[in-house]
Amino acid sequence: AIIEGQRWRFGDDLFRNTPTTTRVKLVDIGMGTEKLVVSMVNPLADSGKVLLDQFAVNISDRISPYWQEWKTDVIRIERFGADNAIMATGRFEFLISAPGVENLVMYRMRGDDMDMVVGAVGNVTKAAEEGYWRAGG
């Protein structure tokens, strides 16, 4: 989804057109955001090949037998300010659906190197809405 900053509330509930898919609800896109691009891919589709094609991310070498199967889509969020400048910092908050998940861990990847996992997103909490988690801040 490509969302114009001033009209983001008209497209604040995002999902792929498939049953039981991950839903993303935008809460706060941050001051100065002129444009927002949100992409979502099922990481299990075609054994991860769709994720590799769409996001150039290979997860097959990051799978551990100690981890549970993916519970949500992989989500790419790109924010742009004035003159299409990349906004890598600043406030951004969203809800993500993960029904039945008791402990959701999200990871952030560095924008200039999609193979570089920066680390776990620290501010992920259960949202008031059933089945949703709040991320960002």
Q: 8-18: per-residue pLDDT in tens?
A: 887 788 999 88
Distance CA 65, CA 10 (A): 41
Task: Kindly state the greatest CA–CA separation across the chain.
Answer: 45
Say if residues 78 and 33 touch (Cβ distance below 8 Å). Answer: no
Q: Is the pTM of this model over 0.75?
A: yes
The secondary structure of 74-115 as a DSSP string is EEEEEEE-GGG-B--SS--EEEEE-TT-SS---EEE-TT-TT
Residue 122: pLDDT band with limits 50, 70, 90: low
Distance CA 69, CA 59 (A): 12
Q: For the segment 33-87, what is each residue's pLDDT rounded down to a tens digit? A: 999 999 999 988 888 888 888 887 777 666 667 777 888 898 888 899 989 998 8
In the chain, pLDDT over 70 holds for what percent of residues? 85
Residue 117: pLDDT band with limits 50, 70, 90: low
Does the pLDDT at position 25 exceed 90?
Answer: yes
Considering only residues 92 and 137, tell me which one the structure prediction assigns the higher pLDDT.
92
DSSP β-bridge partners for residue 94:
26, 135
- How many CA atoms within 13 Å lie on the side-chain side of 40? 17
Does the pLDDT at position 96 exceed 60?
Answer: yes
